[in-house]
Chains A and B, each alone.
Chain A
Amino acid sequence: MARLSPILKEVLVHLFKKPATRKYPEEKPHVPEGFRGRQVFDISLCISCGLCARDCPAEAIEMVEVDGKLRPLFHLDRCIFCYQCAESCPRNAIKSSGIFELAAKNKSDLVVKPKTNHTSAGGSQ
């Protein structure tokens, strides 16, 4: 007869332990550095090369004209957060943040327009 399965004791022990579920949204998870969340675009570094739009695998970046120059517009509903745009940018104008709560009630909230003299992405925060 095989020896007793270790799960018999394990289940009893767990009856008295705190559950492993994290009570989101009261408890927020720990977001590590380098997490690929919502993009942060620094317009002062942009040189309008358009490499980000060309390399995006999901065609989520559109170059639009702002104040006479071409700037990237991010469609967050198409974005796959691969950050190829950040890699292709020769001036490091696109960086990642830890924001992952991106649910929105209408599509226009998910379009991030480049604004002049802003160091954070425009649209709704």
Chain B
Amino acid sequence: MSLDLAFLLRVLIFPGLTFILFLTMFCDWVERKIEARMQNRMGPTYTGPAGVFQPFADFIKLLTKEDIVPFNVRDFVFRLAPILSFSIFAFAFVFLPIDGVSVVSNSNFEGDLVLVLTLVSIANFFLFLSGWSSINPYSATGAARVLTQFLGYDIPLFILALAPAFLAKSLSISKIAASQFIPFAFVVPWVFVLFIITLQAELEKDPFDIPHAETEIVGGYETEYTGRRLAFLKLSKDVQIVLGAAIAVELFLGGPHGPVFYGPSAFWCTLWFVLKLLVVIVLTEYLTCVFARLRIDQALVINWKLILPLSLLSLVAAVGVGLWLYPLR
């Protein structure tokens, strides 16, 4: 069997692993700069032009630090969890069309929406394991909070993600992205708003950044990690944020599709994808800046009493809109 070089390049370089890494670092810089400007301060400024290389510098700095494994931890899981969570988050990107078509587009697999959301849950579970395997009351509390939060908010996430699937009549992300003449964010705006709120909770950003609440439980599940493992843990959190925003872009904002001018369509598709991604990231960052941090029991009450019933109702309303747009024959 000969190696398909083009496929390999797509997986590893563009729009694969290397591109994802660079995109993550860039989005991290955008986040920090936007948050800083909203808080009337400078943000990263000195590393590279306007501080663009700051996330790279932070990552490399952590790679060079001493890697300490405490005595009593569950060694295998402790060492495995950061790598696995990063890998799974990065793997989920192959199903998202970034430059027009996804990396695995020739496999005719039609259910990748469910697969991607499941992969997100599994990777979150590994974040929980990273905290649970460090024998430290702060980590255990942080891990318990991560589990409670993401398991609870996964349900509305799935339900809300079904609305665009119903409108596009397919569970394939590429087809959902391609069938949006008007982005679904404008067709079913209530679903989009709820999805963004649920995304805040999944990505653990204010008001839901309870699992790594610095002032209460020191570092949450990250407390015992140092050096390279901490670098990968932080990287997996950043990739999670980009993945969450990318899913929102694909499902609600039309993915990489947009007006194409001269030149290769792959370039324009990537450009539109990145621009829409930045819009979602700025939106989530704005929500981060204007809210305080909730307590875990308050977050849970909001989920089970407010978000879950609302998401069910909004799915019903979206189905109604879908039936009105494409009447049953």
Q: What residues make up the interface of A, taking CB atoms closer than 8 Å to B?
A: 5, 7-8, 11-12, 14-15, 17, 19-21, 23
A-B contact pairs, 20 of them (CB 8 A): A7-B290, A8-B290, A11-B38, A11-B286, A11-B290, A12-B286, A14-B37, A14-B38, A14-B39, A14-B40, A15-B34, A17-B40, A19-B36, A19-B37, A19-B40, A19-B41, A19-B42, A19-B43, A20-B40, A23-B42
Q: What is the distance, in angstroms, from B293's C-beta to the closest C-beta of chain A? A: 15
How many angstroms between the C-alpha atoms of A23 and B34 in the bound complex?
19
How many angstroms between the C-alpha atoms of A14 and B33 in the bound complex?
12
Q: Give the residues in chain A near B271, CB-CB below 8 Å.
A: none
How many angstroms between the C-alpha atoms of A84 and B40 in the bound complex?
39
Q: Which residues 41-93 of B sit at the A interface, judged by CB distance below 8 A?
A: 41-43
Q: Give the residues in chain A near B36, CB-CB below 8 Å.
A: 19
Instruction: Say whether A5 contacts B40, CB under 8 Å.
Output: no
Q: Which residue of B lies closest to A8 (CB)?
A: B290
Q: Which residue of B lies closest to A16 (CB)?
A: B37
Q: What is the distance, in angstroms, from A19's C-beta to the closest C-beta of chain B? A: 5
Q: What is the distance, in angstroms, from A53's C-beta to the closest C-beta of chain B? A: 44
Q: Give the residues in chain B near A19, CB-CB below 8 Å.
A: 36-37, 40-43
**Top 9 closest pairs, chain A to chain B, by CB:** A21-B42, A20-B40, A19-B42, A11-B38, A14-B40, A11-B289, A19-B41, A7-B290, A21-B41
Q: How many residues of B contact A (CB 8 A)?
A: 12
Q: Give the residues in chain B near A20, CB-CB below 8 Å.
A: 40-41
Q: What is the distance, in angstroms, from A16's C-beta to the closest C-beta of chain B? A: 8
Q: Give the residues in chain B near A12, CB-CB below 8 Å.
A: 38, 286
How many angstroms between the C-alpha atoms of A19 and B41 in the bound complex?
5
Q: What is the distance, in angstroms, from B310's C-beta to the closest C-beta of chain A? A: 16
Number of A-B pairs, beta carbon distance below 8 Å: 29
Q: Which residue of B lies closest to A21 (CB)?
A: B42
How many angstroms between the C-alpha atoms of A5 and B292 in the bound complex?
12
Q: Give the residues in chain B near A8, CB-CB below 8 Å.
A: 290
Q: What is the distance, in angstroms, from B285's C-beta to the closest C-beta of chain A? A: 10
Contact of A15 among B38, B41, B42 (CB under 8 A): B38
How many angstroms between the C-alpha atoms of A2 and B43 in the bound complex?
33
Knowing that A14-B37, A19-B43 are A-B contacts, what are 15 other residue pairs whose CB atoms are under 8 Å apart, sorted by A's residue number? A5-B290, A7-B290, A8-B290, A11-B290, A14-B38, A14-B40, A15-B34, A15-B37, A15-B38, A17-B40, A19-B37, A19-B40, A19-B42, A21-B41, A23-B42
Q: Which residue of A lies closest to B37 (CB)?
A: A15
Q: Give the residues in chain B near A14, CB-CB below 8 Å.
A: 37-40
Q: Give the residues in chain B near A21, CB-CB below 8 Å.
A: 41-42
How many angstroms between the C-alpha atoms of A23 and B43 in the bound complex?
12
Q: What is the distance, in angstroms, from A9's C-beta to the closest C-beta of chain B? A: 10
Q: What is the distance, in angstroms, from B322's C-beta to the closest C-beta of chain A? A: 31
Q: Give the residues in chain A near B39, CB-CB below 8 Å.
A: 14
Q: What is the distance, in angstroms, from B282's C-beta to the closest C-beta of chain A? A: 9
How many angstroms between the C-alpha atoms of A11 and B43 in the bound complex?
15
Q: What is the distance, in angstroms, from B46's C-beta to the closest C-beta of chain A? A: 10
Q: Give the residues in chain A near B40, CB-CB below 8 Å.
A: 14, 17, 19-20
How many angstroms between the C-alpha atoms of A5 and B287 in the bound complex?
13
How many angstroms between the C-alpha atoms of A11 and B285 in the bound complex?
11
Q: Which residue of B lies closest to A17 (CB)?
A: B40
How many angstroms between the C-alpha atoms of A19 and B45 in the bound complex?
12
Q: Which residue of B lies closest to A19 (CB)?
A: B42
How many angstroms between the C-alpha atoms of A5 and B289 in the bound complex?
13
How many angstroms between the C-alpha atoms of A73 and B290 in the bound complex?
55
Q: Give the residues in chain A near B289, CB-CB below 8 Å.
A: 11
